[in-house]
Structure 1
Amino acid sequence: MLLSEIANVIRNIPLKNFDLLSVGSTIAAIGILGFVIYITNRKSITNKFFFIFSIITILWSFFNYINYQATSPTVVLWLLRAVIFLGVWHAFTFFTFLYVFPKEKIYFPWMYKFLLIPLVVITSAITLTPLVFPSIAQLSSDGSVSKTVVANGIFLFLFVVAGLVLGGVSIFIRKTFKAKGRERKQHILILIGTVIMFSLLITFNVILPAVFLNVRFIPLGALFIFPFVAFTGYAIYKHRLFNLRTAAVAGLTFVLSIVSFSEIIFAQDISAVIYRSSVFMIVLIVSFLMNKFVQTISEQGEQLQVANERQEDLIHFITHSRNPNTYFRQCLTEITAGLRERWK
């Protein structure tokens, strides 16, 4: 009887709420990991671009999920434009991160500054115009969008995104072959995450929709990107860019945010979804503040330890250099030892 009641409860839970829970959990993990890595070393160019990549991933995942929940043609059109707009910058930050890893400082060549960045800016701006998606062509029976009109600007979008992704991966593979020791293992971890990410994206966002007309998994794009973020975060951790205490606090805050968001699966109306989502966002913000506080305490502890060591060295120096009796005894001992050696 109890098992049948549990089964009935599970069947009555809205399936789309599981999608929202999975996407929200992935966004929380990506956000916390990116933020923690950034605050451990704000001057590192690798940490900066990993954090930027995490932010773009969160925004892209959010708009990608919302796009498949809307039914208004106008809203869907602009959400779709927002998705591919963020897709350009997602590919750009992916390329740049692979280019700079694992350095703390780097000088970008003139082609990056004066050719690549302008090309990305122009392409992303075009994605927001009718040059890519001019209108919605067809609605399904339930009112959702089933077909979109595509213009010639899509070819520029595909060219830029594919070029950034393939270029970044090829550069990173060459760097992996040149790397040695622990650094090479870190590169291999990131490559594994990259392969898993693109395998999932191609399978569920390209093959299934194009061949089997199954778009069920497209809103779950965040889940497919998470392996790359997870493997990269672990690789950076192995590079000793943040300590175990910081990692433990990040894991704890992630669990707290997911627990607060897990009740979303029982939400039956939009007001409950908004309420649970608001609570989740508040807990997530508090998690960011907790991680920043712990990192600040850790940095202050390290600075205090260094200051104490310097103070001890200074006291030792003053004691031995300013005490005349000590200095006289040392000189007398050295002279006596020298005379003994001479008269032997």
Structure 2
Amino acid sequence: MVNLFQLLILISALIGNLLLGLTTYLKNPKSITNKIFFTFTFILSAYLLINYFSLNSTNPQLVLFLIRLVMGIALLINVSFFLFISVFPQNKITMNKFMFWAFIIITVLLLIPVIFSPFIFQTVIMKNGNIETLPGVGMPVFLLHTLLFLGAGFVNLIRKYRKSVGIQKIQLRLLLLGTIFMFLAIIILNFVLVVVFNISSFVNLLPIYTLIFIGFISYAIIRHKFLDISLIIARAVSYTLLSFILIILYTVFTYSVSYLFRQEKISMDRILFSSMVAIILVYTYPTLKRLLEKNSDKIFYKGHYDSQTILTDLTKIMASTLDLDKLLRKLNNTIIKNLRVVDSYFVLKNKDNKIIIHGIEYQNIDLETVSQHKTVLVREETKIRKIVDLMNQLQFSAIVPLYTEKSGFLGFFGIGNKQSGEIINNQDIKFLEIFGKEVSIALENAKAYKEIKQFSKTLQIKVEEATQKLQEANGKLKELDKRKDEFLNVSAHEMRAPLTAVKGYLSMLSEDKAMQKHKQLQAFLDGALEGAEREIRLVNNMLNLSRIEEGRLVYQMGLVKLSQVAQFTYDEFKAEAEAKRLTFRLNINKEIKDKVYVDQDRIHEITTNLVSNAIKYTDEGSVIINVTNPDKDNVEFEVVDTGFGMNKDEQQKLFTKFYRAESSAGKKMGTGLGLYITRLLIEKFGGKISFESERGKGSTFSFILPLRRK
């Protein structure tokens, strides 16, 4: 009779082994490690199944064949275990290819005599329901094969365990404990007791030994990312439990129906009861599914989160925040909340290569070692002692180096331990890799913004300081200018009387008949008289300028016809122009509208100044005066000459105080005040003065005044 307990244990072991192997293979079908682990668990499952049939068969010949088959499968277990240990965790075959294929061929050649000949077991004897075996001559060969492959596998596993660090060491420790317990139990209880002492009582417990192995591997998967299939295992467990619960419920309901309705005919009551059972199962399925998934996640995957959602939230923060301190604070809060870590920090270099953590400057942080890496560094996985020491110093479980192409190494981002006590898994690493690239660019922009902001503040301070200095200097210049004007004003007043007297005496001498007879003396007197008049004009200009700038000049405003002023000016300078053999012409439109509201003396002074300059700086050609209406609201006075003209540098200085242009002979003429006073007077009368000039081609000076209708 079939033992129900043994059957349940067998089914559990088969499901556990096949589930581990299949999910590992599907996780990464190209991985050599995953392929060999799947092969190992599949062979182990076949070993359990064939062993079960050998124990529950009553046919001696069939039992003998099945036992030989079990021993053949044991050879495959030896080899697959050795190969798995050889490739894990490097995920590549490190042994010589010749040796690899030699092991495979030797094992395959041994399978034929082991399974189909008395090489290992000659016969079996059935005594009182117990099986006794008679070993064959090949048993030492089998033992040697087992000793070599299992021994080499364990030696290799122990060697890798001793050299490993961090999470890898924990994984190898659990794998070592699980395999040692399983293989020792199998060798002692299923081989030594059976072959040496003919005791087969413990053979039925074989699935339990493999279940313990499955337990160690499952714990390594759940807690320490072994083969990285924890999410798949969690879902598989939840669906397996769900299936068992539904099967049990349906079985209970079926037995209940059979017990309550012991009729051959199907009654209406039975149909209604079955329908109710079906409805209950349909409506309870989703609830049970959610409940089991929730609880399996708590056990297997309690650190799970939606990476894409968190990255979206972080991207929004990075896109909307330029202030570096605010950005770091918001990013840290989001990471701590969603990754459920104790704390997180940004360890950054500033422009002076000083280390800043949360706004605090540190001196003893080893950034140089971190700057040599560009991938996520996990405390349990890294073999670099300096990195491990740094993580322990800052209480980090993972570090993300931060780089950009433009700025290079910026620093790093570190997260503390998880609140759940779990270690960093592959989902965390992938998330941190993506986040590290995005946040590096955001930090570069934020640091640039901070530097620009700081530079703006510094610049603002410097501008304010410079402005203050300029204001102080300007105040001093104004004071000096005021004193200069006062000096010139006083000097002009003091010089005006003697200059007038000198002019008077020179005029008297010039008009004396006796002096007129001496041409040379007369020439000297004319020159002296002209110089006296020039100095008097300078004094008058200085006095007028002082009055204009101080607002003390009195204007006799009234309606004046600009055409008449132009005519007076033309008549005044006609003789001088003809003396220089210049073409001198006045153009006035007959229908000109030219009434302006000005001081007649001052407007005459303006026109006189412009025409005088034109004749003065023109050696040949023409001087033309035009009076026109450029539009219905204004009148324009224009003087066009073909004189020496001005270059751009001279044009920029024109209309400034005391500036004098050079004549064709290279001599600077005039007082340098005429055009400056002219501009001030034109602006006082509400007009605008302008000019055009080109070196060697002459100049055009003009001013526009608004018309007065009444």
CA contact (8 A) 2:71 2:114 kept: yes
Match for 1:201 among 186, 192, 196? 186
In 1, Cα distance between equivalents of 2:116 and 2:82: 25
Superposed displacement of residue 114, structure 1: 3.2
Q: Which amino acid letter does the alignment assign opposite residue 214 of structure 2?
A: V
In 2, Cα distance between equivalents of 1:147 and 1:71: 14
Local SS of the residue matching 2:13: helix
Local SS of the residue matching 1:127: helix
Sequence identity of aligned pairs in percent? 27
Residue 239 of structure 2 aligns with which residue?
A: 253
CA contact (8 A) 1:23 1:61 kept: yes
Identify if the C-alpha distance between structure 1 residues 145 and 193 changes in structure 2 by more than 3 Å, giving closer, same or farther. closer
**Which piece of structure 1 moves more, 173-182 or 38-47?**
38-47
**Which ranges of structure 1 fall in alignment gaps of 5 or more residues?**
1-13, 265-301, 317-332
In 1, Cα distance between equivalents of 2:460 and 2:113: 90
Deviations 1:304-344 (A, max 9, x none): 959x98xx99xx9xxxxxxxxxxxxxxxx9xx999989989
**Which piece of structure 1 moves more, 59-68 or 19-28?**
19-28
In 1, Cα distance between equivalents of 2:56 and 2:73: 18
Aligned positions, number: 284
Identify if the C-alpha distance between structure 1 residues 256 and 56 changes in structure 2 by more than 3 Å, giving closer, same or farther. farther
Q: RMSD value over aligned CA atoms? A: 4.2
Identify if the C-alpha distance between structure 1 residues 64 and 261 changes in structure 2 by more than 3 Å, giving closer, same or farther. farther
Residue 20 of structure 2 aligns with which residue?
A: 33
Residue 234 of structure 1 aligns with which residue?
A: 219
Match for 1:104 among 71, 86, 91? 91
In 1, Cα distance between equivalents of 2:248 and 2:154: 35
Does residue 95 of structure 1 match 2:82?
A: yes
TM-score (norm 1): 0.67
In 1, Cα distance between equivalents of 2:212 and 2:205: 13
Superposed displacement of residue 244, structure 1: 4.5
Does residue 82 of structure 1 match 2:69?
A: yes
Aligned pairs (5 A) from 1:149-228: 150-206=135-191, 208-209=193-194, 213-228=198-213
Superposed displacement of residue 47, structure 1: 1.8
In 2, Cα distance between equivalents of 1:103 and 1:71: 47
Identify if the C-alpha distance between structure 1 residues 225 and 54 changes in structure 2 by more than 3 Å, giving closer, same or farther. same
In 1, Cα distance between equivalents of 2:56 and 2:210: 20
**Which piece of structure 1 moves more, 117-126 or 50-59?**
117-126
Q: Which amino acid letter does the alignment assign opposite residue 161 of structure 1?
A: T
Superposed displacement of residue 151, structure 1: 2.5
CA contact (8 A) 1:91 1:165 kept: yes
Does residue 129 of structure 1 match 2:129?
A: no
In 2, Cα distance between equivalents of 1:243 and 1:129: 39
Q: Which amino acid letter does the alignment assign opposite residue 112 of structure 2?
A: A
In 2, Cα distance between equivalents of 1:65 and 1:261: 24
Identify if the C-alpha distance between structure 1 residues 224 and 125 changes in structure 2 by more than 3 Å, giving closer, same or farther. same
Point out which structure has higher relative CO (alpha carbons under 8 A, 6+ apart).
Answer: 1
Superposed displacement of residue 195, structure 1: 2.5
Q: Which amino acid letter does the alignment assign opposite residue 94 of structure 1?
A: F
TM-score (norm 2): 0.35
CA contact (8 A) 2:24 2:229 kept: no
In 2, Cα distance between equivalents of 1:188 and 1:202: 21
Q: Which amino acid letter does the alignment assign opposite residue 179 of structure 1?
A: S
Superposed displacement of residue 146, structure 1: 2.8
Deviations 1:203-242 (A, max 9, x none): 4324654676541221332221232233234334555343
Kindly indicate which of the two structures has a greater share of residues assigned to strand: 2
CA contact (8 A) 1:21 1:262 kept: no
CA contact (8 A) 1:77 1:133 kept: no
**Which ranges of structure 2 fall in alignment gaps of 5 or more residues?**
252-304, 320-452, 466-710
In 2, Cα distance between equivalents of 1:210 and 1:262: 44
Question: Who wins on radius of gyration, i.e. which is larger?
Answer: 2
